[in-house]
Amino acid sequence: MQETPKGSRLHIAIFGRRNAGKSSLINALTNQDIALVSNVPGTTTDPVYKAMEILPIGPVMVIDTAGIDDVGDLGALRVERTMQVLNKTDLAVIVIDPEEGITSFEEELVKEIRKRNLPIAGVVNKSDTKTVSPAELATWRQMLALPLLLISAKTGQGIEELKRQMIKLAPDDWEGPQLIGDLVSPGDTVVLVVPIDLAAPKGRLILPQVQTIRDLLDNDACAVVVKERELKEALDSLKNPPRLVVTDSQEFMKVGADTPSEVMLTSFSILMARHKGDLETLVAGAKAIDALQPGDKVLIAEGCTHHRQADDIGKVKIPRWLRQSVGGELDFAWVSGGTFPPDLTKYKLIVHCGACMLNRREMLYRLAIAREAGVPIVNYGLLIAQIHGILYRALAPFPLAQMILEE
């Protein structure tokens, strides 16, 4: 598994008093899916940094502030420790214990966080065992001047809504995983297969291709750019096999045949799916295609309202492939631009476009809404790869995603 560099992980600090349920919340945020947790060693009273995968947010660094959760006021030492944590924080989560309510700890903490202009998500935990009256909740909200979400780390209630809020609160410049740079080491060679069809504008390459070349250069790697027809020749011209071959999805079959099986192979749309959204959630969505039944409702969502062509992928091709895969008729609905329809729960699958007109935050937000509604979501590129039986090989650089597909 390639480690996502620390710099591109969203740093989430979890604050709360000793019995508020910080650890349970961290488990709840990750446990429902496969979580890769690697603790950074520290003393028992120092904050612990945990590199994790929170779906659909992606790779994050959770800062468990066990050392500064003592009862009572923030003493000088704990203020200092809090400030050290906040220096590295992109987003703060405050966990409130409904048995205790708001104390000076939470009030001073919010003050400290606000001084640094950091976003805060506030949750009242233990909704499964302690009922909070609307009046009480309103008082607490007013005391902190903060919306508070009722959750249960134990039952999972409100967790997906919290994730959605976290995505909304994440800073604008938070980028998430790199396109390809984290998959290579300096000096590596990566072969990019770029088919030139008649529709490709003269003298240009499409943006994901340019972004991939640039990301390789930024990471001291070398990009070998070639058409599918010359791939074999290009591979033969190298003294050593490349680190990775990346192809346009439409040439996956030919490129797969020409690439030695020991060389990792993926596609530009998989790289973009990870960069723009959350690969694992989309892979789980691709897997859900197998469970579709004739008559199921499928929502096809596009991020923009482009001019549709006769063989439009969203209107024509994807419905055809899905019908063939299911072996019967499906009940399709379409949305484009704007947002999702209010009730998603009636759909068995959401198929989203590549989101070239959406930024990462907006795409993650949509993934979060789908997860909250419990509806699997996949994008065009992954759906195509899955239906053509090539998704597993194309996920070679992403073992976590491969595990989700295999499960």
Query: At closest approach, how far in Å is the CB of 241 from a copy of itself?
Result: 11
Query: Does the protein bind a copy of itself through residue 357 (CB under 8 A)?
Result: no
106 vs 248 by CB, closer to a copy of itself = 248
User: Of 158, 149, 163, whose CA–CA distance to 62 is shortest?
Assistant: 163
Residue from 35, 66, 79, 205 binding a copy of itself (CB under 8 A): 205
CA dist 125 and 314 (Å) reads: 42
Nearer to a copy of itself, 220 or 331 (CB): 220
Q: Should residue 214 be labelled a site residue for a copy of itself when binding is judged by CB under 8 A?
A: yes
Strand order of the β-sheet with 10-16 is 38-39, 48-54, 58-64, 10-16, 91-96, 120-124, 148-150
- Candidates 90, 97, 106, 215; binder of a copy of itself (CB under 8 A) is 215
Residue 56: cis peptide before it, omega within 30 degrees of 0: yes
171 scored as a contact of a copy of itself (CB under 8 A) = no
In angstroms, the Cα distances linking 59 to 22, 32, 36, 191, 286 are 19, 15, 9, 26, 20
Q: What angle do CA 49, 55, 59 make, to 5 degrees?
A: 40
**Position 335 contacts a copy of itself (CB under 8 A):** no
> What is the C-alpha radius of gyration for the chain, rounded to an integer number of angstroms?
23
Residue 130 vs 229, nearer CB to a copy of itself:
229
Among 236, 290, 311, 343, binds a copy of itself (CB under 8 A): 236
Residue 220 binds a copy of itself, judged by CB under 8 A: yes
Of 192, 406, 189, 105, give the one whose Cα is nearest residue 283: 406
Residue 387 touching a copy of itself (CB under 8 A): no
CA dihedral 365, 367, 371, 372 (to 10 degrees): 20
Considering only 43, 117, 239, 345, the residue that binds a copy of itself (CB under 8 A) is: 239
Tokens of 119: 């976003």
Q: Does 282 bind a copy of itself (CB under 8 A)?
A: no
Stretch that binds a copy of itself, among 3-11, 209-217, 282-290, 364-372 (CB under 8 A): 209-217
Nearer Cβ to a copy of itself (234/385):
234
Pick from 45, 237, 309, 359: which binds a copy of itself (CB under 8 A)?
A: 237
Among 196, 316, 333, 356, binds a copy of itself (CB under 8 A): 196
Report d(CA 54, CA 36) in Å as an integer.
9
CB-nearer residue toward a copy of itself: 223 or 351? 223
Least Cα distance to 78 among 15, 31, 2, 6 occurs for: 15
Which of 135, 47, 36, 126 lies closest to 84, judged by CA? 47
Name the residues that contact a copy of itself, by CB under 8 A: 186-187, 189, 194, 196, 202-205, 210-211, 213-218, 220-227, 229-230, 233-234, 236-240
